[in-house]
Structure formats: C-alpha cells, structure tokens
Structure 1
Amino acid sequence: MVSTPLPHGGWPTPITSALVVRAAARLGEVVVDGTDVWWSESRPSEQGRSVIVRRSADGTVTDVLPPPWNARTRVHEYGGGAWTVSDGTLWFTEFSDQRLYRLDAGSESPSPVTPEPEVPSGVRHADLRVTPAGVLAVRETHPAAGGAADVVNEIVRITAEGTEVLVSGPDFVSDPRLAPDGATLSWLRWDHPHMPWDAAQLVVRAADGTEHVLAGGPGESVVQPTWGEDLALWWFSDRTNFWSLYRKRPHEQAELVVDVGSDIAGPQWVFGASRFALLADGRVAFAYGRAGADRLAVLEADGSVRELDVPYATFRYVTAQGTSVVCVAGSPSSEPVVLRVDVDGGEPEILRPARDLGLDPGWFSAPEHVTFPTEDAGTGIAEAHALVYPPTNPEATTPDGGLPPLLVVVHGGPTAAAVPVLNLDVQYWTSRGFCVADVDYRGSVGYGRRYRDALQGRWGVVDLDDVVACARFLADSGRVDPARMAIRGGSAGGYTTLAALTMRPGVFTAGASHYGVADLGALAAETHKFESRYLDGLVAPWPSGRAVYDERSPINHVDALDTPLAVFQGDEDAVVPPDQAEAIVAALREKGVPHSYLLFAGEQHGFRQAANIRAALDGELSFYAQVWGFELPAEEGITPIAVVTS
C-alpha cells in the first residue's frame, strides 16, 4: 500500500459518516436468563430504537422486541434499567408512553402492566427486578403542574393486583434488591443537593420493618449493592478514595474485600450499570480501570486477585452465567461485543460480534494514555490525563514539515471519562489527518474521589485549565499545529467548549458545541429533577451563588468570542433545552463571528437517528474545512454546511 503526502484534514478515507452509522448499534445491558443471554441494542438505523435481543443456548440470535416497540426509560432523563427478563418473560418500559409492559415467551404482542397515566409519559419505571412477589422498580411520577421539585421518585412493587409503594420520602432512590430470604430489602438513596456519586447511602430493611444505613453518606458514595446466596451483601464504596469492593456477612462487620488502587465502579448516571458479578461457586468477577484501560479479574476463594488474559480494554454490564462472565467488551481495535469468558480458562466466546467494517486494522489509530502538567488551582492536583489518537491513514502521510490539526474532545458528565474502545466517531477524524485528544480533565471518573472532587466548586475553572494545558502540551511537544487547534464536546463537554472559547480565548481557532450549556443560571433554573441541584456542588448553591453562575456562563463573555463555532442541538432536549444553543447563536450572529447552527427535530439529549448523526459529523468536518481552508475528498460528496456571519 503506497502512502501519499497529502494536506491534513482532507485525507481520503473509507471511514465516512455512512460507515459510522451503517448497521451501528449501541450495546446496552446484558441479562442472563438460564442458558440464554439477552442484551439491548440502540440502533440509529431504526431512529434510535432500543431493541431487546436474545441468544439461545443453541446460538440462535433473535430480536425479541419487534418494531415499533422501544425499551427505553426516561427516569432521571438518562434512563437505564428499562428492561429485565425472568423465565423467558420480558418486562420493559416502552419509551413512547413510559408504561411497564410484559412480553410472555412465545408471544409477539406485549401487554401493558401499568395503567395509562393522567399525564402523558408522566409515570416512568426503571431499575426493574423480578421477584416471587412481583416486579421491583424505581417509579418516577411527574405531576400535571409544577416543576422539578414536584417530581416524586419511589421504590414500588408491581403485581397483578396493582402497585405497592415500598420506599418513599428521599429525593432519589435506586437499586431495589430483595435478599434471597425473600424478606430483606436493600436500596440506595440520596437527597438534594447531592448526586449519587457524592453521597449515596445503602439502606437495609429487615423482615420486621426495621431499617439501618449500612454505608454511605456525606463524603462517601455507594453503588451496585448485590446480595449473595449466603445473605452476604456486597457493594462498592469510595470511602478510601477509590470505589472498592465491600462485603457484609450476616452477624459480621462490613469489610473491605478488594482495593486495587483505582476505581472499580463508576458514577451512577444510568440505572443497570454493573462492574462485578457473583459467580455460581462463590467467587467474584470484576472489572477495574488503570492507566486509561480496564482489566477483567477474579477474586479467588483465598482472597487473591487474578487477572484474566482477554484482548479487550473495556468491560461493562458485567454479569455471571455459572462460572463464566458475560459482559459488553471493547478495545482500541474492536467495537463493543457481547463476550462470554470462562474464568477458569478456554477461549473467550463472542456472543454478539462487532460490525464487519471491512477495513484493515491499519486504518485504526491506537490511543496513547498521556499525563500532562496543569495548574493546581487550589486542588492539590497539578496533572491531568488524556487519550491521544495520532493521525492514522495507510494511504496518506504528513507533508514535509507539516503538523496535523488538533481536535480536543471534552466528554460529558462532567463525571465521565475517555474510553479506549474503537469508536468510528474518533477514527472518522484521525483517518483524515487529525490528531484527537480525548481529555480526562479533573472531575473525570476513574482516578479516585480526590481527582473527581477537584472539580467541586471549580467547574468552569479547572476543566478549562486542563483542556488548554492539554492543547498547549501537544503543541509544545511538536505533535500538532498550534494554529489549527479545535475543541468540541457535548452536554457538559459542550459547556467546557463554549467556556474555553469565551474565557480562555486565543488558544483554539475553531470549536463545535453539541447541545452544550451556554447559561449556567438558566440550566440551574430550568433543568430536570435529577440534575436540578447538580450545579450546587460544581459551581455554587443556587440561587444564592448567582454571581458565580454569571461569572462562569459563556453567554456573559461573548464580548471575547471571536472564534468560529459550529452548534448542534436537538429540539426535544429536556436536559439542555434548545434556548441555550439559540442564545449563543444569537450572540455569534450579533458579533459577526463565522458560525453554523443545525437544529435536529425529534432528538433529545444526544443524537440517536442515523441521518442526524451523519449530518452532525459531516457538518462539523465541513465547518473546519471552510474555517481552516482545506479541501474535502470529492468522492464523499459531503454537502458543505452553511457558515454564516449574520
């Protein structure tokens, strides 16, 4: 294969937006039901519909939920835990009306379990668990009138006779789990202004109705409580800085079981996440992160930890099937698959393969985990991290003396992290000659609570320090062109993008905001219940801290905004409403700054429809081409996005 020196940005590549969405599916939760394995797939080609898929013991793979059914919940707006399976019967929340349905084995027509609510989609269900006495669920009820403070979250049990409220009162609840004795109930709870990764408590209610808090509270987050058959209760806690594995046996004190010196668990943005599973013989399988990648390991009966030799770097939705682990796994050279691994040996078995992209691995850029210096800013931490993807294309090379443009990617959350899994959204850029830096700024998960809490009260300060420091580090190292550095992000990442362009001007020469926050005060006042007090910790208490919100809102610093910017937004976004995007676009128009704006009908927080995913990718590329002056490969037929100044 011959490599030709070509200008960066316009390298010809088979990784087009059409390939990004072709037969694409976002793999979700995995559930084991006897010898069968079930999982969910969100498919852009089906308007983002979440499909439930079953793989039978004989290897037959079947779409269980036919169109137009869509197993997706809106609890907390981010969802998760929208479905479960027991003895071949599927229970799920239908996205269109948020009612609970069941689909019996052998049937093609789901039946409603909960009644039609008075408020359309006003009674929502998540975190489903089937028990002998009924289905446990988190129920979120939205009144006909009122705001976020009037939404009620409860734990309920749903039976043929109706719905019984089991837990009510806390602002938020999750993870209802019934012990094997059929009487003891555990769950997590937290109250405003905390988020679950700040101060979630683990509560246990005995058969006689007495309750006690087993772990968690201010300064400690508990996630994923799980009962063992021996009535031992397991959970993750970050009381020692890292989310580590704890256990409490009956009549014994709680004990720390595994601390690997890095986070095992992650933040509870969605229901149904799982990073460990109890195997049939009493051992424990778990995944943990270190240096930008995951390991899959087993806690042996003697207390030792043994890593499994599997060629993957991310593991999600970890569950057990006998002495095997079933999970969603991915790596820098593989899109996510559904994987089954016998912890005692044997070849890993791929139950749901990745797409056949028809590409040589030479097209894929491999990430490098980079640690770079940054401003301490009173955090006690003076370094941050990133996954850096160099430009990679077997048919094109850098011209003599040329340096690639840089695309700094800012993840959402902001409590999220860069993930080292093959992502065509990244390879779309690297195969065209871009260097991509996916930044784990302070506040990101995976590096312990101290690193995560470094963003408390400092959102809009240290995240900006870190993305700027990353860009300058790569430019000073001679790896990228300092005149062509762009920043992009979605949601919280969109906020950091806008803030960097308005409050750290002169570093980036282009940017793209995907459903980003422009006005922190408006977000605090308008957003949904789950995040309605989130900014109290990240910024300042609202509304008493209004001055801090004003100071850190990009919309109030548009006098410094002279960087070309592309803005992409969904018109049904309840997390960051469209008026946030339109406010920044109006400011760009008034100042005469080159900009583009695409508003996608029918999209919520994050784009799920294939046509819109393509339009956003190609539109952003076309925007950079026009701003920086490079030609796009003619054979792709990309329609240029409109770049305007008024």
Structure 2
Amino acid sequence: MTTNEAKPKTAPPPPIVYPPYHTVRRYSGYSQLALSPDGSTLAIASRQQGPALVCEIAVGGGKLRPAFAIAGASVHGLSWSQTGELFCSADRGGSEHWQVYVRRADGNVEDFAISDGDRVQHHLSHSAVSPDGRQVAIGTNARDAADVDIAIADTITGLQRLVISGPAWHVAGSWSPDGRWLAVMRVAQNTDQDLLAVEDASGEVIEVASHQGEMQNVPAGWLADGRMLAITDHDSKFLHLEAIDLHSGKRELFEHPEADVEIAASSSDGRGVVWSVNEDGYSRLRWRFAGGPTAERETDGQVGDVVVAADGTRAAYTLFPLAGPEEIRVLTLATGDDRILVTGEALPQYGPRPESLRIKGTEGDIPCYLYRPEHAAARVPALLVIHGGPEGQSRPSMDDPFLLDLLAQGVAIVVPNIHGSTGYGKEWQRRIHRDWGGIDLADLRSVAEWMRAHPELDPDRLGVLGGSYGGFATLTCVTRLPEFWCCGVDLVGPVNLITMLENDPPNWRRWNRLWIGDLDTDREKLIQRSPITYVENVRCPLLVIQGDNDPRVPREESDQLVDRLRSLGRPVEYLTLGDEGHGFVRLDSRQLVMERIGQFLDRYLVRGRN
C-alpha cells in the first residue's frame, strides 16, 4: 500500500548493525561481531546491503568488504573458531526459524545445523566454539518445539550429541579456558535464570547458580583461574559481575557499580574481560587485562555489542553515540588505546542532547528524555515514543531519520522508560510482569498528563508511537486514554492478549504465561487489559504497520484491529510487508516504513489536519 505524497526529507542510511536490546544479547548469547583466531580480522553481520550478510575488515584498518551471504537469508549471529571456521546463524523473511551455517577455512560455505520445514530452530551463541576449535555448542528445539536443548556438534562432521535437555529454554554460554566445561544458562524468564556447567568428556552437569525465587544469572565468560563469570543481581538491586567457583559455588564480587552491568564478555583464555555499565542510559566501558587494575572510558552513547579476542589483548565493540553515526571500535586492553574501525553513514543532522528528567508517577518517578526542537517560538506538537520489550530501555541517542525530521519541523520528542524498563533496578523491571495494561497504563497516563500540562507543548497536538510491546502501549493509549491524542502509530503491536497468547510460538508460551498471563486462570483479566476491548473509544487517526511473517505478534493481531476500526468508520491506514517479520530487515521495507510514518505524522501531528 503506497501513497503519492512527498517523501520525508531524510532517507534512512543503511546501518552497519542494529543495536540489540541487552536483554536479547544476554538471554540469547548471539553477537553480530566475531574476531578471527589471530585477532587480525573482524567479521560483522552487516545490514548495509539489505538483509544482513557477513562482511570483514582488517583490525589494523581498511575498507569493510563483503565476505559471504546466505542465499535468501539474513545473518543473525557469528562465532569464529580457532581453526578458522566462521559459523553464523540466519533466518529467512523474518520467520525467526534460525539455522546454522559455516564458512570453512578454505572459503566454502556449507549448511551445518539445518532442518527442513519451519518447526526446528538452531541457535548459535557468540562463544559457542570450543577453545581447540573442534566442537561447537548449538541450541535446538528438535526434541520438543516448546524447549531449547543444548547439543555439542563436531565442527567437521556436524554430528551432534545432546548434553542438556528438559522443559526449559537453554542458552549455551562459553567454554572454560581449558575446554573442559561449557557454561549453560537455563532461562525461566528475563529476571530469572540458573547457571549450569556441563563437562565435555563425561557429560556431568553441575548446578552452578541455582536458587530460590527470582534471580538473574547470565554467563559472561570465564576467568583464567577457571571460575565462571556471571552478570547477576544476587543480593543486589542492580546487575553486577561475580566470579563463581564451579565446585563450591562460592561467589566473589568482580564489579559492583551502583547501576546495571548491561553486557560483558571475556577472552577464551580468561585473561581479558570487558563490560559496560548503564548509567542513566549512557554506557561506561570498563575492562581488565591479565590480572591488572580496572580501566574505563566514558562513551557518551550506548555500547551495543562487545567481543574479546582469544588472547584477551583486544576487544571490538559497537557504539551508538549521542550525536553522530554508529561506530565499530577496537580497544587494546593493555594500553587503553581505543579507535574507530568502521563508521556508519552519517545522517544530515543529529538530534540535540536530550534533557534527562523524571515525571511523577503513581508508583515512583518515571525516567524520561525530552528532545526539544531548536528555535521554538510557541507551544509545539509532541510525539510520545514508547520502546518495545517491555523489558528494554530507551537510550539518549537520536538516529531515526523520521524523528530527526520531526525535530527539524518543530516537534518535541518525549521518550519515557515506564515500569518494565531495564536499567533502573530489578523491582522497576519486574513490576510489569502479569500486569500489562495495568501499571503501564498508570505510567502512560502520568506521562500524558505531564505532556498536556507542559508549557512548551501544544496539548491539542500530541501523538504516540511504538513497536512490539510499544505498539501494545500505543494501542492502550489511543483506546484507554483517547482524550490525549491527535494520532497514533502502531508497529507490530498486539491488540488482543487472548489471541496473541493462543497463537504463541511453542517456545514462547512458558515465558508469556509468566510475563503476560495464563489463558486458563487470567482470561477475564486479559480481556480487560486488551486494547481491542476498548477499540470503540478510538478518536484519532491511526497508522498500523505489520510484517506478514511475524512469529511473535502474528498478522491476525493487526488485521482484527484494522477490521474493527474500519467497521466503526474510524480513520485507519494499514501497511503490511511481505517477507518481513517482527521488525523490518530489507532496505526497501525500512525505506517504505519511514516514508509512511513521516507522511502520516506530517499530516496529523505537524500540520494538525485531524
């Protein structure tokens, strides 16, 4: 579905990589970066050419060059073995039907862990290959579609042996420096994990960090002395780093800041450790090398991903600066030398530094960023942008072209981190569990009232936009707080919690029961909290955008919303994208989405033609 209206002023530049939610990196283990065995080359799952392919660049400097692609697929994660094989996971059409491929040391690209049909997935962690390069750990739901087990495969023959299985989602961590043990995370939910270790030779499984109640325990590598490194909230409000003895279970603090450790990685020999601390949305990079003191640097942005060379001498990481294009950087741990290796294509302009503020809510102050347009002479329209997850976090960087266009046209951007967001302690994050449409509704009302009362914002021109959970929150706003909004944009958001849960992929069902609710025991509550229940309240024009292949929020969600709105005679525009899923990876798809959002907001928010 297209229109003949003018395109937005700024076309989105192709990104090098996308910044993943740190919850996604922590609980899936994948990375878009991989360093070669000798640390001289960096491989990147780059999206600059469209669906992600594998590119390479010399760490000493040079040009980013295409290395290989998986036909018809988008590469998701990478892991490079010490014997030269480069493994990658990829899916097709946004289906999230992950499969594993390998480029051999001689350059041939082969299928490695592949299944026909759309039931069996194979997952690849960034540190999946053993130190000797002979084995690779694979996550697989071949035994049961609802579970993810761990298999160890021979890197040459591909033959697999199951080492951990059971009614849970398991994620392979990294191997101990001597190659004897593989760390495994057993995930109950985003705020509750156990750590296991499986001995390669015997198959013995040790419960390293089992516990009562909810506790985060995420594998972050190993130290040279054989202790496992974990990101955990053990006895703490915030995520921090602990070193855990495999046999005694004794825990020792490695790093305990008064903020969340958001991501961490170690070298395969355990000598080098790099981690990032989330300080009110800004990342502080820290590291140790060969038993030396902790060093650090402020980034003035967000660290999205980090990998460490096998010998611990250097690390590569992605940085999304506050003002400027994305960067892939190389850090030398011994000296602290830190330099840009690759820079993304620059936008014509970047947003100003936002004001970091707190909005009074019913259960605590709500962290929020406010981007003000320059040279505003009167009250200006404002757009509320709600992140997905809900266990994610909006950060103080502005690199969305259509949002930059809005700022240039005099629109303020309001970006809150309501309950459920990460980065503000475990109680803030957990509060939304089984309370979608409850505490978030209260927070959104507080933010909307603050926006309407703000002396610089036009109360008659307030819009709302969000994707995934943010789409649910957007639909909650326009159906349950309809008096505030002149327009709304929903991207792949669920509108009916009943049908969403009924159509869950098998391996998401146990999590969604914990996060959202149980169809058997919570049905009435789920109906009460679903935006579809209040769709007759919608007053403002709505733009709905949906991927046809979305496995998490199926197209049925958007179809039923649009059908109901049209039957009620309410203004709604509907854009569907074939060969796309829960997010849009094709360049032409992203361009079209940007165009349609820009046109819609220009019509109803900037000009106020409602």
User: Into which bin does the TM-score normalised by the smaller protein fall?
Assistant: 0.7 to 0.9
Shift in Å, 1:599: 0.9
Identical amino acids, percent of aligned pairs: 20
Q: What's the Cα RMSD here?
A: 3.0
2:360 is the alignment partner of 1:373: yes
2:77 is the alignment partner of 1:88: no
Shift in Å, 1:598: 0.8
Q: Deviations over 1:266-291 (max 9, x none)?
A: xxxxxxxx424359794633210112
Corresponding position of 1:223: 218
Corresponding position of 1:593: 570
- 1: CA distance, partners of 2:488 / 2:590: 18
Shift in Å, 1:445: 0.4
Secondary structure in structure 1 of the residue aligned to 2:325: strand
Q: CA separation of 1:208/1:26 partners in 2, compared to 1, >3 Å: closer, same or farther?
A: closer
2:203 is the alignment partner of 1:200: no
Shift in Å, 1:332: 1.1
Corresponding position of 1:235: 230
Q: Deviations over 1:434-476 (max 9, x none)?
A: 1111221111001110110111232212222223322322442
- 2: CA distance, partners of 1:391 / 1:60: 36
Structure 1, 296-305 or 574-583: larger mean CA deviation: 296-305
> In the alignment, which of 209, 214, 218 is matched to residue 208 of structure 2?
214
1:418-457 correspondence to structure 2 within 5 Å: 418-425=394-401, 426-457=403-434
- 2: CA distance, partners of 1:533 / 1:338: 36
Shift in Å, 1:420: 2.4
2:319 is the alignment partner of 1:329: yes
Equivalent AA in structure 1 for residue 283 of structure 2 = D
1:50-69 correspondence to structure 2 within 5 Å: 50-57=53-60, 59=62, 61-66=64-69, 68=71
Equivalent AA in structure 2 for residue 117 of structure 1 = S
- Does the aligned pair in 1 maintain the 2:77–2:90 contact within 8 Å? no
Shift in Å, 1:38: 2.1
Where in structure 1 do 4 or more consecutive aligned residues deviate above 6 Å? 300-304
- 2: CA distance, partners of 1:345 / 1:449: 35
Corresponding position of 2:266: 277
Secondary structure in structure 1 of the residue aligned to 2:54: strand
Shift in Å, 1:562: 1.8
- Does the aligned pair in 1 maintain the 2:272–2:308 contact within 8 Å? no
Shift in Å, 1:345: 4.7
Corresponding position of 2:308: 320
- Does the aligned pair in 1 maintain the 2:221–2:270 contact within 8 Å? no
- Does the aligned pair in 1 maintain the 2:242–2:251 contact within 8 Å? yes
Corresponding position of 1:472: 449
Corresponding position of 1:30: 33
- Does the aligned pair in 1 maintain the 2:222–2:266 contact within 8 Å? no
2:514 is the alignment partner of 1:537: yes
Corresponding position of 1:188: 185
- Does the aligned pair in 1 maintain the 2:381–2:605 contact within 8 Å? no
- Does the aligned pair in 1 maintain the 2:32–2:78 contact within 8 Å? no
Shift in Å, 1:306: 4.2
- Does the aligned pair in 2 maintain the 1:389–1:436 contact within 8 Å? yes
- 1: CA distance, partners of 2:129 / 2:265: 20
Equivalent AA in structure 1 for residue 360 of structure 2 = P
Shift in Å, 1:494: 0.3
- 1: CA distance, partners of 2:151 / 2:562: 44
Structure 1, 403-412 or 176-185: larger mean CA deviation: 176-185
Equivalent AA in structure 2 for residue 157 of structure 1 = I
> In the alignment, which of 334, 340, 345 is matched to residue 355 of structure 1?
345
> In the alignment, which of 400, 414, 434 is matched to residue 390 of structure 2?
414
Secondary structure in structure 2 of the residue aligned to 1:572: coil
Shift in Å, 1:117: 2.8
- 1: CA distance, partners of 2:100 / 2:351: 42
- 2: CA distance, partners of 1:298 / 1:24: 25
Q: CA separation of 1:473/1:279 partners in 2, compared to 1, >3 Å: closer, same or farther?
A: farther
- Does the aligned pair in 1 maintain the 2:420–2:429 contact within 8 Å? yes
- Does the aligned pair in 2 maintain the 1:154–1:167 contact within 8 Å? yes
> In the alignment, which of 283, 291, 295 is matched to residue 294 of structure 1?
283
Shift in Å, 1:208: 4.8
Corresponding position of 1:339: 329
1:520-599 correspondence to structure 2 within 5 Å: 520-599=497-576
- 1: CA distance, partners of 2:77 / 2:191: 21
Q: CA separation of 1:204/1:23 partners in 2, compared to 1, >3 Å: closer, same or farther?
A: closer
Corresponding position of 2:105: 105
Corresponding position of 2:23: none
- Does the aligned pair in 2 maintain the 1:142–1:151 contact within 8 Å? no
Equivalent AA in structure 2 for residue 38 of structure 1 = L
- 2: CA distance, partners of 1:117 / 1:291: 43
Secondary structure in structure 2 of the residue aligned to 1:447: coil
Normalization by structure 2: what TM-score? 0.87
What runs of 5+ residues in structure 2 fail to find an aligned partner?
1-5, 20-30
Shift in Å, 1:485: 0.7
Q: Deviations over 1:407-455 (max 9, x none)?
A: 1111111000012234134323222221111221111001110110111
Corresponding position of 2:379: 403
Secondary structure in structure 2 of the residue aligned to 1:518: coil
- Does the aligned pair in 2 maintain the 1:325–1:341 contact within 8 Å? yes
Shift in Å, 1:603: 0.9
Corresponding position of 1:640: none
2:387 is the alignment partner of 1:387: no
Equivalent AA in structure 2 for residue 616 of structure 1 = V
Shift in Å, 1:525: 1.2
Equivalent AA in structure 2 for residue 447 of structure 1 = Y
- 1: CA distance, partners of 2:608 / 2:529: 37
Q: Deviations over 1:157-215 (max 9, x none)?
A: 1124411111111321002432223322321113xxx31x2221001234554433222
- 2: CA distance, partners of 1:331 / 1:511: 28
Equivalent AA in structure 2 for residue 182 of structure 1 = G
Q: Deviations over 1:22-70 (max 9, x none)?
A: 5665376222221324243442652x23334342546453321147364
- 2: CA distance, partners of 1:591 / 1:44: 42
Secondary structure in structure 2 of the residue aligned to 1:119: coil
1:487-498 correspondence to structure 2 within 5 Å: 487-498=464-475
Q: Number of residues paired by the alignment? A: 578
Structure 1, 542-551 or 282-291: larger mean CA deviation: 282-291
Corresponding position of 2:22: none
> In the alignment, which of 40, 45, 64 is matched to residue 44 of structure 2?
40
What runs of 5+ residues in structure 1 fail to find an aligned partner?
1-12, 73-79, 144-148, 266-273, 377-381, 633-642
Equivalent AA in structure 2 for residue 416 of structure 1 = G
Q: CA separation of 1:535/1:257 partners in 2, compared to 1, >3 Å: closer, same or farther?
A: same
> In the alignment, which of 483, 486, 495 is matched to residue 506 of structure 1?
483
- 1: CA distance, partners of 2:64 / 2:315: 19
- 1: CA distance, partners of 2:456 / 2:335: 42
